[in-house]
């Protein structure tokens, strides 16, 4: 690894942020239900139903077939080799293209924000893409507000940690879960996803999969990321109670609909 003095001040900043992630919990504002951090996925889920976030924090997790199938596909399609922090830093600094998934954490307005994106694709030491994989039984061509908030928050986390996000693109891959991918498709998924993003060939991949995949890519906008999370923070800081959805179609598939006092089904 390069000696510290040979690195740019920006590289030193994100390297320090990565190395000090575990120590930034101290002095953070107290959050609802003793949560250590506000996570990108919770902020996304608040867009769907804030009461559901509350139920997840106060009740045991309820597994559903659909959740398990989604988690299994995630693991199969996005395998990552284990690495060390030093090797991660070295690879970001030296490899032309490098893909990794690792925990992000940063202080923002006195509280801790955190999250683990499915994959960050670095090019020449800068984050070029965040890739988030979603699986669905519904129409994959819709990018839901929950997904947009989650992925923009990952971008904000990278930026707060000191990475240069000036060219960062956010990409949500939505895969239809009705047809199980073959073993070969599973093995090749991540490599192919990186290849089409870098080579700007996402349209070719989407059309070759005939409606089974949609790719939503947009540029990271720091203002959008901050505006997205602002309305949700009051819930975490105990300034207001959770707001339940008013849409019965969201309650129908919700795993808490039997025990939620606000269930509409």
Answer yes or no whether residue 146 interacts with ligand SF4 by CB under 6 A. Answer: no
Nearest distance from residue 246's CB to ligand SF4, in Å? 9
Residue of 22, 10, 36 lying closest to 159 (CA atoms): 10
Nearest distance from residue 55's CB to ligand SF4, in Å? 5
**Given 3-state DSSP classes, what are the helix, strand and coil percentages for the chain, each rounded to the nearest 5?**
45, 20, 35
Answer yes or no whether residue 66 interacts with ligand SF4 by CB under 6 A. Answer: no
Cβ-based neighbour number of residue 105 at 10 Å: 23
Q: Judged by CB, which is closer to ligand SF4: 176, or 250?
A: 250
The residue range among 48-56, 115-123, 134-142, 181-189 that interacts with ligand SF4, by the rule CB under 6 A, is: 48-56
In terms of C-beta density within 10 A (0-12 exposed, 13-18 middle, 19 or more buried), how is residue 57 classed?
Answer: middle
Name the 3-class secondary structure at 217: strand
CA 191 to chain centre: 19
What is the C-alpha to C-alpha distance for residues 166 and 127, in angstroms, rounded to an integer? 9
Answer yes or no whether residue 193 interacts with ligand SF4 by CB under 6 A. Answer: no
Answer yes or no whether residue 51 interacts with ligand SF4 by CB under 6 A. Answer: yes
Task: Kindly determine how many residues on this chain lie close enough to bind ligand SF4 according to the rule CB under 6 A.
Answer: 15
What is the C-alpha to C-alpha distance for residues 265 and 263, in angstroms, rounded to an integer? 6
**Contact pattern for ligand SF4 over residues 72 through 111, marking x by CB under 6 A:** ----------------------------------------
Instruction: Outline where DSSP puts E strands in the chain.
Output: 38-39, 97-100, 104-108, 111-115, 119-123, 126-136, 169-176, 213-219
**Contact pattern for ligand SF4 over residues 224 through 263, marking x by CB under 6 A:** --------------------xx----xx--x-xx--x-xx
The residue range among 47-55, 84-92, 105-113, 188-196 that interacts with ligand SF4, by the rule CB under 6 A, is: 47-55
Q: Are 159 and 165 in contact (CB under 8 A)?
A: yes
**Using the rule CB under 6 A, which residue among 17, 37, 39, 52 binds ligand SF4?**
52
The residue range among 44-52, 105-113, 121-129, 230-238 that interacts with ligand SF4, by the rule CB under 6 A, is: 44-52
Answer yes or no whether residue 13 interacts with ligand SF4 by CB under 6 A. Answer: no
């Amino acid at each position: 690894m390069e000696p510290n003095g040979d690195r740019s001040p920006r590289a030193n900043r994100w390297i320090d942020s990565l190395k000090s992630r575990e120590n930034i919990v101290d002095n953070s504002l107290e959050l609802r239900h003793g949560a250590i951090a506000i996570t990108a996925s919770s902020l996304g889920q608040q867009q769907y139903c804030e009461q559901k976030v509350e139920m997840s924090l106060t009740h045991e997790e309820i597994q559903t077939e659909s959740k398990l199938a989604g988690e299994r596909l995630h693991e199969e399609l996005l395998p990552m080799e284990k690495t060390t922090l030093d090797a991660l830093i070295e690879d970001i600094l030296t490899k032309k293209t490098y893909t990794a998934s690792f925990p992000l954490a940063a202080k923002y307005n006195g509280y801790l924000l955190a999250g683990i994106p499915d994959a960050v694709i670095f090019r020449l030491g800068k984050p070029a893409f965040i890739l988030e994989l979603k699986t669905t039984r519904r129409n994959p061509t819709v990018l839901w507000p929950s997904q947009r908030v989650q992925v923009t928050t990952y971008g904000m986390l990278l930026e707060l940690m000191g990475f240069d996000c000036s060219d960062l693109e956010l990409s949500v891959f939505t895969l239809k879960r009705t047809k199980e991918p073959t073993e070969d498709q599973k093995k090749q998924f991540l490599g192919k996803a990186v290849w089409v993003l870098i080579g700007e060939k996402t349209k070719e991949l989407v059309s070759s999969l005939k409606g089974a995949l949609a790719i939503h890519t947009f540029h990271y906008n720091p203002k959008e990321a901050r505006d997205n999370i602002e309305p949700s923070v009051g819930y975490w800081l105990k300034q207001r109670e959770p707001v339940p959805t008013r849409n019965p179609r969201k309650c129908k598939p919700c795993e808490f609909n039997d025990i939620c006092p606000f269930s509409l089904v």
